[in-house]
A and B are shown apart, each in its own frame.
Chain A
Amino acid sequence: MTDRPNAPDTVLAMVRAQLSFRTKASHLALMIVAVGAIVALASILMTEPGLPRRTWWAMAAFGLLNSVWATYAGWVLSARRTMLSNHRVIAGRIAVAAAALFTLGSGALGAATGATAAYLAAAIGLVLTGFAAALLTRARRRHWMLQLRRDQLLAHTQDGGL
């Protein structure tokens, strides 16, 4: 075997970079902001029939652009950056908090201004909050099951086997 002192170190450096939540947080934030923008724009477009045609198309194009960013961020998080169990729980909590905040903000804006778009955005935000909560529940359940299995296996190793 040749001398390869740096091969595991190189791999370990790559592993540490991949596991860092900071590398995922920026894409998570991008996805949250993009989805929020899509919801807001869609609400306005659906409830404001009096918008000038150019304004309507410009806002639709902006919504499409945000869809592309949201898709890109989702692809990075699912395929390019490993989301392990602990990170899925963290990401779920962030998503629930962001969706809830968006919902409350839209609802408050609707109550203050009476704008239909704001109420519609709040309704969509409520759906998104429910969806995020379901994902968080699943992530927490999976995380708990893994912890349980880890503790069982640790007990087996301490006992010396099956």
Chain B
Amino acid sequence: MESGLSEHTDPLAQIHDELLVVRCQLGEPAAFEDIVRLWSDRLLRYLERIAGRDVAEDLAQEVWVRALRSIIRLRDGTKLRAWLFGIAHNVAMDRFRARYAEEAMRAAVQDAPEPEPVTDAEARSLLLNEELGRLPLIEREALTLFHLEGLSLAELADVQAVPIGTVKSRLFRARQMLRSNMIRGDERD
């Protein structure tokens, strides 16, 4: 898995994000609907990876409730993506603190259905997905947000509320763990 250390610098995307935020803050209902349609699937996918499919939809509802209540206070609309994933991160962490032990999360991952690969490429993709799910929560979240959701290091640092150096360490550790698990998975096959 290659590292992607470049920042998210697309100015047009940032303008679109800020415009969406400003329209929401003005109270345009269509703007909220646009945000939901743009981000609903990605947030749900992130929550499924972090918290499991059985609770992801509930958590997603909570994420949108919190986003709706606090968007009026979002001062920098260009940070929309990190802000949304930050809310999702906090919602997931609140749920874990309240209801789940680490053993319950590992049990949920172990209950996931076994993949049935058809081709070598698909087999590898499914193995990657499975091994990603076996990583510890923090490392799993870091890889998911950085490589799958395309957040920059700075955005990931905002979401996890840690310095960028810590984010880099987590990503390095996560890749090492995932690489080791993938090798062991290949050897099993």
A interface residues with partner B (beta carbon < 8 Å):
1-2, 4, 7-8, 10-12, 14-16, 18-19, 79-80, 82-87, 143, 146-147, 149-150, 153-154, 156-157, 160-162
- The CA of A143 and the CA of B61, in the complex, are separated in Å by 28
Query: Which residue of B is nearest A15, CB measured?
Result: B32
Q: At the interface, is chain A mostly helix, strand, loop or mixed?
A: helix
Assess whether B72 is in contact with A84, with CB atoms less than 8 Å apart: yes
The interface of chain B, by Cβ under 8 A from chain A, is 11-12, 15-16, 18-19, 22-27, 29, 32-33, 36-37, 40-41, 44-45, 53, 57, 60-61, 64-65, 68-69, 71-72
Within 8 Å by CB of B29, from A16, A147, A154, lies A16
A8 CB contacts on chain B under 8 angstroms = 36-37, 40-41
Residues of A within 8 A of B60 (CB): 7, 11
- Say yes or no: A15-B27 contact (C-beta < 8 A), given A1-B45, A84-B72, A149-B22: no
Contacts of A160 on B, CB cut-off 8 Å?
Answer: 12
Interface of B is mostly: helix
- Closest Cβ neighbor of A89 among chain B residues: B27
CB pair B26–A84 under 8 Å, yes or no, is yes
CB contacts (< 8 Å) of B11 on chain A: these are 161-162
Select one of A14, A82, A85, A87 contacting B61, CB under 8 A: A14
Do B40 and A7 touch across chains, with their CB atoms under 8 A apart? yes
Residues from chain A with a CB closer than 8 A to the CB of B65 are 14, 18
Cβ contact within 8 Å between B27 and A86: yes
Closest 10 CB pairs of A and B: A86-B27, A84-B27, A153-B19, A8-B40, A161-B12, A150-B22, A11-B64, A15-B32, A162-B11, A146-B26
A143 to B29, CA, bound (A): 16
Task: Indicate if the CB atoms of A86 and B40 lie closer than 8 Å.
Answer: no
Of B18, B24, B26, B60, which is in contact with the most chain A CB atoms at under 10 Å from its CB?
A: B26
Whether the pair B19, A150 counts as a contact (CB closer than 8 A) is yes
By the criterion CB–CB under 8 Å, are A157 and B64 in contact? no
A147 to B68, CA, bound (A): 19
| Set B22, B26, B64: member contacting A14, Cβ < 8 A | B64
A49 to B33, CA, bound (A): 58
Chain A residues whose C-beta falls within 8 Å of the C-beta of B25 in the assembled complex = 84-85, 146
Contacts of B22 on A, CB cut-off 8 Å?
Answer: 146, 149-150, 153
What residues on A are CB-neighbors of B64 within 8 Å? 11, 14-15
In the bound complex, CA of A83 to CA of B68 (Å): 10
On whether A85 and B27 interact (CB within 8 A), knowing A2-B53, A12-B33, A153-B19, the answer reads: yes
Residue of A nearest to B53 (CB): A2
